[in-house]
């Protein structure tokens, strides 16, 4: 397998995705990044990407090697009869390393690398953008920081409405967490969820604080992320808080009745419909693990605090304005099913969708219901989305992602 050599353009596009394998870059690229981050001719988004990338490179120096643009590199350019330009320097640096794959999306650089230097080249697919995660992580210099706080009513980071941002200083320290509300940047407070059932729940990281704020303030929230990141625990804590305080009467738990891949179904089961649901379907295990046991789940069902609705029955249900509709494992639902759920919710019904989304890079991504929901609703004043990042369940469950 050939080692990757990235040009400046590719690095700016990929950001921390470059850390998947060891790679090479040119010292000319480092010079270009330094110039970009302070250039008056570059937009704020490009300058932000350059600053963030330099931090990534600084913190992961063991992942790459820098080919210095020396006199020998310049002589290679001269041997090919080319001008001494940054693109030609980068290509010549790549040419000096045997058995590399040169990665660029710059058409000019690609042409020079392939047809003059004879390099094996590859491009980055930009047909499908990364799935919207609902927040940005931005590092600012002292001058940029001062400008930002003097212009909080200007959308300097081009965020969508209800999109969050983590602000870091030049030392990579978090100094603030904010949300663009459509008119100005508002600071996010770490307000805990409190209930008799679960006690007090505080956010374990900055991204969880975004999720809790979105659940609290938006009509519709999508939470997605790996197992153990809190995408089920956070909304359930909020739901119990709101039901206990009387702000909502009931939670409708909507789920898709699907067995685990490769697992056998239980077949015929004695008992009423609800008993079958909580003892035979995955939703029973999910709720029992959060509430302590199935008896507590049955108690909430009997008291009318909770109702479990399989998606097969969704057309016969209407979610009241004083209720919360939580859709679990929503990555399993198609566009039509999610559309139907949303249309069954009356005005005032709070909706929470959670799942573990596989961020595919193919043209069929819009056929996945939750992806389509995010794509259509992002930027709406009543919608929030947060990609939860950290696994707090256990180190072993974290390793399971590698299987």
- Of 269, 388, 246, 208, the closest CA to residue 324 belongs to 246
For residue 81, give both structure tokens.
């009869």
CA distance 374 to 384: 9
H/E run at residue 276:
helix 273-280
SS3 340: helix
Same fold? 3-122, 193-402 = yes
Q: Domain spans of the chain?
A: 3-122, 135-187, 193-402
* Residue ranges in the chain modelled with pLDDT below 50: 126-129, 259-271, 360-367, 403
- Of 182, 185, 164, 20, the closest CA to residue 103 belongs to 20
| 154-180 pLDDT tens trace | 998 889 999 999 999 988 899 999 999
| 174-215 pLDDT tens trace | 999 999 999 999 999 888 999 999 999 999 999 999 999 999
pLDDT value at residue 166: 94
For residue 298, give both structure tokens.
């049955």
> How much is the pTM?
0.65
Asked whether 353 and 220 are in contact (CB, 8 A), the reply is yes
The CATH number of the structural domain formed by 193-402 is: 3.40.50.300
The CATH number of the structural domain formed by 3-122 is: 3.40.50.1010
């Amino acid at each position: 397998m050939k080692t990757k050599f990235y040009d400046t353009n590719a690095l700016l596009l990929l950001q921390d995705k470059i850390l998947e394998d060891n790679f090479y870059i040119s010292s000319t690229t480092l010079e270009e990044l330094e110039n970009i981050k302070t250039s008056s001719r570059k937009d704020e988004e490009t300058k932000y990407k350059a600053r963030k990338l330099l931090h990534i490179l600084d913190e992961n120096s063991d992942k790459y090697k820098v080919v210095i643009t020396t006199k020998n590199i310049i002589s290679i350019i001269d041997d090919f009869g080319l001008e001494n330009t940054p693109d030609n320097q980068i290509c010549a640096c790549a040419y000096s390393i045997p058995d590399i794959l040169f990665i660029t999306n710059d058409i000019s650089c690609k042409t020079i690398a392939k047809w003059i230097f004879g390099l094996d080249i590859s491009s980055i697919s930009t047909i499908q953008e990364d799935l919207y995660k609902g927040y940005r992580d931005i590092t600012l210099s002292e001058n940029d920081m001062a400008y930002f706080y003097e212009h909080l009513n200007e959308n300097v980071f081009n965020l969508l409405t209800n999109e969050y941002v983590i602000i870091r200083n030049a030392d990579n320290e978090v100094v603030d967490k904010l949300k663009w509300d459509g008119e100005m940047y508002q600071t996010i407070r770490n307000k805990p969820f409190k209930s008799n059932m679960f006690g007090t729940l505080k956010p374990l990281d900055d991204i969880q604080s975004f999720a809790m704020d979105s659940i609290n303030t938006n009509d519709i929230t999508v939470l997605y992320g790996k197992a153990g990141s809190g995408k089920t625990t956070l909304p359930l804590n909020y739901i119990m808080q709101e039901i206990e305080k009387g702000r909502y009467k009931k939670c409708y738990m909507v789920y898709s009745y699907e067995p685990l891949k490769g697992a056998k179904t239980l077949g015929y089961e004695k008992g009423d419909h609800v008993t079958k649901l909580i003892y035979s379907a995955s939703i029973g295990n999910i709720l029992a693990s959060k509430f302590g046991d199935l008896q507590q789940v049955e108690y909430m069902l009997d008291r009318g605090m909770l109702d479990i609705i399989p998606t097969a029955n969704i057309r016969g249900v209407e979610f009241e304005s004083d209720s919360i509709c939580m859709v679990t494992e929503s990555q399993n639902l198609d566009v039509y099913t999610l559309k139907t759920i949303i249309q069954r919710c009356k005005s005032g019904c709070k909706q929470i969708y959670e799942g573990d989304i596989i961020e595919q890079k193919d043209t069929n991504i819009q056929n996945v219901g939750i992806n389509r929901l995010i794509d259509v609703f992002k930027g709406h004043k009543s919608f929030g989305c947060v990609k939860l990042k950290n696994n707090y369940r256990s180190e072993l469950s974290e390793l399971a992602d590698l299987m």
